[in-house]
């Protein structure tokens, strides 16, 4: 996952091609993620198999609502992230500077062990989550391949900043991805996340075109990305890609370097929900506010309530082989 590049008048540089930062590295230098380092003519992962978070979660926690509802997902993470989000909820494991000894981080798990543990615990999927899974791409890909062979679904929970070459390798073995679309302004991405907007938009479109099930989450932060225009822009973009993309509008809680920012009012989430629906999106959900009324799934054809949720719990699932029992219309998603 690297290529060699020489600049006139500069030391020979190697470009890490794992994500859209395209970090250009000299010998022994780590990239923005802090977990990938130049070694000779290669860029190596410093955290292969070094699992720092490992839990059995409801799949709804990802959040993924149109894949195996009510099932369990084996959720894993290594250290590192290629974003520097000021509001990161997992900063203790995501924000790595490359200075420490990562060879002893967490516990070592072989891909075979991850898949076997998922099987033994009754999980129907493995989620690569908590940090940006692109930074542990080699490990995730090896896990995905084994899981896919055994009939276990693979779910990426991602900022959507992977390179095209990484995306193309993932697409055949990743069954679903939830991508954070954090804002519709490049200035937000640069200031709050240390990244750019365009690669995220391109990757949403690319995953959809390759047949990977895509859901999108927008964490609505008061005063930063909560204007009606921005929410309209996001909803209209998603609808233009595919009106069946589920859009999760989620409530912010103060965290990391944004502890002085107030939580998202429920009324803002309700308004975002209405904006999504009025823009043509068929499936819009509110998150981080259990019982707010925006967690249930409905048939887009007849309006029948199909899946009833409260927080991460599915209270009722009326789907029959992925279809509405009233009008037999298909609810788009991954149901088996």
- What's the Cα-to-Cα distance from 303 to each of 179, 292, 306, rounded to whole Å? 27, 19, 9
- In whole angstroms, give the CA distance from residue 54 to residue 245: 28
Question: Are residue 137 and residue 36 in the same domain, yes or no?
Answer: no
Question: Are residue 74 and residue 162 in the same domain, yes or no?
Answer: yes
- In whole angstroms, give the CA distance from residue 67 to residue 102: 34
Question: Are residue 96 and residue 213 in the same domain, yes or no?
Answer: yes
Residue 327 belongs to some domain of the structure: no
pLDDT in tens, 152-193: 999 999 999 999 999 999 999 999 999 999 999 999 999 999
Confidence class of residue 290 from pLDDT cuts 50, 70 and 90?
Answer: confident
Residue 25 belongs to some domain of the structure: yes
Question: Are residue 34 and residue 105 in the same domain, yes or no?
Answer: no
Residue 208 belongs to some domain of the structure: yes
- In whole angstroms, give the CA distance from residue 156 to residue 178: 6
Asked if pLDDT for residue 8 goes beyond 90, the answer is no
Kindly report the pTM of this predicted structure. Answer: 0.95
Asked if pLDDT for residue 5 goes beyond 70, the answer is no
Phi and psi at 310, nearest 5°, equal: -140, 105
Question: Are residue 124 and residue 39 in the same domain, yes or no?
Answer: no
Question: Are residue 289 and residue 242 in the same domain, yes or no?
Answer: yes
Which residues lie across from 73 on neighbouring strands? 57, 125
Question: What string of DSSP letters covers 215-253?
Answer: EEEEEE-TTTS--HHHHHHHHHHHHHH-TTS-EEEEE--
Does residue 219 contact residue 54 with C-beta atoms inside 8 Å?
no
Question: Are residue 58 and residue 11 in the same domain, yes or no?
Answer: no
Question: Are residue 53 and residue 156 in the same domain, yes or no?
Answer: yes
The 3-state DSSP class for residue 258 equals coil
Nearest alpha carbon to residue 250 among 278, 277, 284, 286: 286
Q: Domain count of the chain?
A: 2
Does residue 244 contact residue 332 with C-beta atoms inside 8 Å?
yes
CB under 8 Å to 215, separation ≥6 — which residues? 63, 64, 65, 66, 176, 177, 178, 179, 245, 246, 247, 248
Question: Are residue 9 and residue 108 in the same domain, yes or no?
Answer: no
Residue pointed to by tokens 């930063």: 224
- In whole angstroms, give the CA distance from residue 174 to residue 203: 14
pLDDT in tens, 104-121: 999 999 999 999 999 999
Q: Which domain holds residue 9?
A: 2-43
Asked if pLDDT for residue 10 goes beyond 60, the answer is no
Residue 325 belongs to some domain of the structure: no
Question: Are residue 233 and residue 277 in the same domain, yes or no?
Answer: yes
The tokens describing 120, both together, are: 């033994």
């Amino acid at each position: 996952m690297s290529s060699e590049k020489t600049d006139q008048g500069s030391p020979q540089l190697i470009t890490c091609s794992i994500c859209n930062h395209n970090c250009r590295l000299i010998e022994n230098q780590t990239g923005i993620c802090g977990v990938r380092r130049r070694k000779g003519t290669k860029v190596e992962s410093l955290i292969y198999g070094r699992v720092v978070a490992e839990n059995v979660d409801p799949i709804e926690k990802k959040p993924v609502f149109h894949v195996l509802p009510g099932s369990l997902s084996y959720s894993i993470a290594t250290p590192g992230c290629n974003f520097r989000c000021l509001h990161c909820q997992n900063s203790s494991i995501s924000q790595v500077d490359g200075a420490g000894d990562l060879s002893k981080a967490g516990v070592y798990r072989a891909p075979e062990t991850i898949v076997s543990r998922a099987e033994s615990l009754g999980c129907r999927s493995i989620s690569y989550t908590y940090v940006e899974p692109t930074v542990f791409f080699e490990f995730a890909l090896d896990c995905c391949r084994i899981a896919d062979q055994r009939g276990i679904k693979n779910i990426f929970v991602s900022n959507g900043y992977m390179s095209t070459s990484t995306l193309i390798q993932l697409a055949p073995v990743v069954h679903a991805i939830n991508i954070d679309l954090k804002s519709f302004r490049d200035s937000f991405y640069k200031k709050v996340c240390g990244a750019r907007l365009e690669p995220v938009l391109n990757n949403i479109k690319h995953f959809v075109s390759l047949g990977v099930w895509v859901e999108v989450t927008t964490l609505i932060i008061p005063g930063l990305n909560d204007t009606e225009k921005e929410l309209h822009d996001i909803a209209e973009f998603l609808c233009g890609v595919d009106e069946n993309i589920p859009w999760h509008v989620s409530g912010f809680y103060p965290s990391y370097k944004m502890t002085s920012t107030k939580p998202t009012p429920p009324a803002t989430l309700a308004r975002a929900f209405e904006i999504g629906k009025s823009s043509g999106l068929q499936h819009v959900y509110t998150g981080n506010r259990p019982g707010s009324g925006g967690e249930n799934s409905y048939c887009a054809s007849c309006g029948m309530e199909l899946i009833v949720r409260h927080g991460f719990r599915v209270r009722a699932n009326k789907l029959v082989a992925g279809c509405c029992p009233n009008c037999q219309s298909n609810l788009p998603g991954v149901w088996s």
